[in-house]
Chain A
Amino acid sequence: MSQMSYVSKQVKDLKPSGIRRFFDLAAQMEDVISLGVGEPDFVTPWNFIEQSFHALEQGYTSYTENAGMIELRREISAYLSRNFHLSYDPSEQVIVSVGASQAIDLALRAVIDPGDEVIVVEPSFVAYVPTVKLAGGIPVTIQTKAENAFKLKPEEIEEAITPKTKAILICNPNNPTGTFLLQEELEPLASVIKKHDLLVLSDEIYAELTYDDDYTSFAAITGMEERTLLISGFSKAFAMTGWRLGYAAGPAELIAAMVKIHQYTMMCAPTMAQHAALEALKNGRQSVEDMFESYKQRRNFIVSSLNEIGLTCPHPGGAFYAFPSIEATGLTSNEFAEQLLQEEQVAVVPGNVFGANGEGYIRCSYATSIKQLDEAMKRMKRFVEKRI
C-alpha cells in the first residue's frame, strides 16, 4: 500500500463539521426526537412530484441548457418580480444550480482571486467558511452580538474590511439564529458595502419564511442590484431539499462567469428536478402558504415553551430555527446537546458549530410535528429543571 497521502493540504486542514460529529452520536440512538434537522418535515407537495413523473414519462431525461431550462428561468424571474419586486433577465441574469449550496460555491469560485477576503457573518451556516477556503479565498468572520439579537451592524462590517475584501456573504433570515434583517436594517449595511465597493452574496433561501414583517431583498435596496448576487432555491419554502435545486440571480457578467464554471463541473441541474420546480412556481402557492402557516404556529409554540422552561429565546423573525440561550443551565453548548441526547433522546445542534459566538446557545429546528415538538419540550423541561 502506498504510504503517500494523496489528499491535498487544503482539504486536510479543513475542520470537519461539528454537525457531523453530533450526527454520528444521534444516529446511534433510538427513539430520538430530532430538533436538529435543517430541512422541512413536509414531504414535497404531490403535484410537484407528479409533474416530475410526467416529465420522466415524456422522456425528459437528457441534459438541459447549462444555465437551466429557459422556461424555469423565466418562472424564477417572474417569481422574484412578483414576490420581491426584482427584475432579472431570465436569459442572462439567472442560473439554475444544484441547490443553493452549489450556487454559493459557483459564486465564490467566480469572484475570488487567491488571497481575496470574503466576510462571513457568524453564527452562520456551516458551509460558508469552508467553501470560501476551497475557492482560494480567506474567510474573515464577523461575530455578531447576542445583545443585538445577532443582527449585523454597519460598524461591524467597517471593522472587518481590509484592502483585500472582495465580498460579504450574508444569510437573511439567518440559519441558525432565525434573525431577520428588515429593510431599515439593511440600508445602513448597504451604505458601507457601496462605499467600499463590495459584492454581496445574499443567501435568501429562507426569504419566504418571515413571519411578522415583509421581506426586502438586498438586491431591492437602492443601488444594490448591480452589486448583489441573490442566491436561493426550492429546498426550504417549497419542501424540496432532496431534489437539490437552487438558483442565483444577479449581474449578467457574474452569472456568465458562474455558468462557465457550471458547464465544466456540473453541466446542468437535474432535469427531473427542474420540471418539479417549474410546477412548484406555477402551481405551488397554496402549498407554500399552508406550510408557512404551520411553521409560524410552531414558532410561536416553541419560543413560548423555551422561555417558560428558562431557556431565553428572542422571537426569531424568520427561517425555522429557534436559538435559545442555555446560560441558565451553566453548561456549554456541547455539554448541553450531548447530555440532552443521552438523558432525554432529544437532538439539538450545539450553537458553537455555527461560529464561536454561538457558544452558550443551541439551535432547535421547529420543522417538526406539533406532537413531536410538544414531547420534546416536555423532555427539555425535565432536563433543564434538574440543572437550575
Chain B
Amino acid sequence: MKGIEIDILKLIEKNANLEVEKIAKLLGKSIEEIQELIDSLEKKKVILGYSTLIDWAKVLDVEEVTAMVDVKVTPARGVGFDKVAERIYRFPEVKAVYLMSGAYDLSVSVKGDTMTEIGHFISEKLSTLDSVLSTTTHFVLKRYKHDGIILQDSDEDDKRIVVSP
C-alpha cells in the first residue's frame, strides 16, 4: 500500500469526520486524488465503516451495561474455533469477539441496557451453545479509555501563553 494511503487512513482513523478537502490540503494532493483513494480503500474493505464514539454515560435516561465474558469452548474438527466464534458473533448483543491465548478461549464483549438483560443473554443463549463449556462474566464498572480515546472529563485547554517568541 502506498504511503499516501497510509497517511489518509491514519488521519481518518482519528477523525472519520475530516472532509476530503482538508485531507487533500494536509497531504498536499488534489481532492479528486484523495476521493479516488478513499473510494478504492472502501471497495477493498480496508475501510470497513465510519462509526462515532459516543459517551452514552452522559446521555440522560440511557444506561448501558457492558460485560466482558471469558468463554471456554470445545473447538470443532476442521474449523477450529471459527465455527463457534461465528455462532457467537452473529448475535447483535455481542460487540466484540477475540480468540485468546491463556486460561480461556474466547473473549466476548456483550452490551445491553441492564444487567438482567445481559445475564439473560448469557444464560439463555451463550452458555447453552453445545460447544461452550463454561463462561465467566465481568461487568464493566467504568470506562476510562476506549479505542485510544480518554473518556474522562479532563482539562484539555491549550495551556500555552497566547504569544511567545
Decide yes or no: A36 and B28 within 8 Å by CB, A41-B158, A370-B22, A374-B22 being known contacts.
Answer: no
Q: Within the complex, which residue of A26, A125, A127 is in contact with B163, where a contact is CB–CB below 8 Å?
A: A26
The range of chain A's interface size is 20 to 34
**Identity of the chain B residue whose Cβ is nearest the Cβ of A29 in the assembled complex:** B162
Question: Is A37's CB under 8 angstroms from B163's CB?
Answer: yes
Question: Is A347's CB under 8 angstroms from B162's CB?
Answer: yes
What's the nearest-Cβ distance from chain B to residue A315, in Å? 10
User: In the assembled complex, which residues on chain A have CB atoms less than 8 Å from the CB atom of B164?
Assistant: 19, 23, 36-39
Within 8 A of B (CB), among A1-52: 17, 19, 22-23, 26-27, 32, 34, 36-39, 41
Decide yes or no: A347 and B163 within 8 Å by CB, A300-B26, A370-B26 being known contacts.
Answer: yes
Tell me whether A305 is interfacial, beta carbon within 8 Å. yes
Decide yes or no: A36 and B27 within 8 Å by CB, A41-B158, A301-B22 being known contacts.
Answer: no
Tell me whether A304 is interfacial, beta carbon within 8 Å. yes
User: In the assembled complex, which residues on chain B have CB atoms less than 8 Å from the CB atom of A26?
Assistant: 162-163
Question: Is B165's CB under 8 angstroms from A300's CB?
Answer: no
User: In the assembled complex, which residues on chain B have CB atoms less than 8 Å from the CB atom of A125?
Assistant: 165
Question: Is A19's CB under 8 angstroms from B163's CB?
Answer: yes
**Identity of the chain B residue whose Cβ is nearest the Cβ of A40 in the assembled complex:** B160
**Identity of the chain B residue whose Cβ is nearest the Cβ of A17 in the assembled complex:** B165
- Complex Cα distance, B131 from A151, in Å, reads 73
Tell me whether B25 is interfacial, beta carbon within 8 Å. yes
Give the size of the chain B interface in residues (CB under 8 angstroms). 16
Within 8 A of A (CB), among B1-50: 7, 10-11, 18, 22, 25-28
User: In the assembled complex, which residues on chain B have CB atoms less than 8 Å from the CB atom of A370?
Assistant: 18, 22, 26
Within 8 A of B (CB), among A176-226: none
Tell me whether A298 is interfacial, beta carbon within 8 Å. yes
What's the nearest-Cβ distance from chain B to residue A376, in Å? 13
User: In the assembled complex, which residues on chain A have CB atoms less than 8 Å from the CB atom of B160?
Assistant: 34, 37, 39, 41
Within 8 A of A (CB), among B122-165: 158, 160-165
Question: Is A37's CB under 8 angstroms from B162's CB?
Answer: yes
User: In the assembled complex, which residues on chain B have CB atoms less than 8 Å from the CB atom of A301?
Assistant: 22, 25-26
User: In the assembled complex, which residues on chain B have CB atoms less than 8 Å from the CB atom of A17?
Assistant: 165
**Identity of the chain A residue whose Cβ is nearest the Cβ of B10 in the assembled complex:** A293
User: In the assembled complex, which residues on chain B have CB atoms less than 8 Å from the CB atom of A368?
Assistant: 158
Please, could you name 13 A-B residue pairs with CB atoms under 8 Å apart, sorted by A?
A: A19-B165, A23-B161, A26-B163, A27-B163, A34-B160, A37-B160, A125-B165, A300-B26, A300-B28, A301-B22, A304-B28, A347-B162, A370-B18
* Chain B residues packing against A (C-beta within 8 Å): 7, 10-11, 18, 22, 25-28, 158, 160-165
10 closest A-B pairs by CB: A36-B163, A297-B26, A23-B163, A300-B28, A26-B162, A126-B165, A38-B164, A301-B25, A34-B162, A301-B26
| Known pairs A19-B165, A37-B164 / 17 extra A-B pairs, C-beta < 8 Å | A17-B165, A19-B163, A19-B164, A22-B163, A23-B163, A26-B162, A34-B163, A37-B163, A39-B160, A297-B7, A297-B11, A300-B26, A300-B27, A300-B28, A301-B22, A305-B25, A347-B163
